[in-house]
């Protein structure tokens, strides 16, 4: 299965390898107190939110994250 920007954050967090990559690129994101509120959102949706930049999530970084996750799966 190839993960894309249309993959939900919840799907990524449910996969241990994907979760590890997310935490590597965005330290602490998987344990953030507000993470439950955005689990149903896709990466594309999250990138479009101005708040994503506060966590360092840009389109480029999301592409890097997905590329590394897809290599590991």
The radius of gyration of the chain's CA atoms, rounded to the nearest angstrom, is 11
The answer to whether residue 24 is domain-embedded is yes
- Tell me how crowded residue 18 is: count the other CB atoms within 10 A of its CB: 23
**What percentage of the chain carries pLDDT values higher than 90?**
81
| Residue 3 in domain | no
Q: How many domains does the chain have?
A: 1
Q: Is residue 2 part of a domain?
A: no
- Residue 53 predicted with pLDDT over 90: no
Domain range for 28: 9-72
C-alpha span between 58 and 36 (Å, rounded): 20
According to the model, what pLDDT value does residue 30 have? 93
Helix crossing, 59-72 with 16-25: angle to 10°? 150
pTM (2 decimals)?
A: 0.89
For 15-21, what is the mean pLDDT? 96
Residue 4 lies in a domain: no
Per-residue pLDDT averaged across 21-31, rounded? 93
Task: Answer yes or no: is 35 within a domain.
Answer: yes
Distance in angstroms (rounded) separating the CA atoms of residues 59 and 46 = 10
């Amino acid at each position: 299965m190839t993960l894309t920007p249309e993959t939900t954050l919840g799907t990524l967090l449910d996969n241990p390898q994907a979760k590890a990559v997310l935490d590597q690129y965005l330290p602490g994101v998987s344990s953030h107190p507000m993470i439950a509120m955005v689990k149903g959102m896709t990466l594309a949706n999250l990138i479009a939110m101005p708040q994503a930049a506060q966590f360092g999530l840009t389109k480029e970084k999301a592409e890097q994250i997905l590329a590394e996750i897809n290599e590991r799966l």
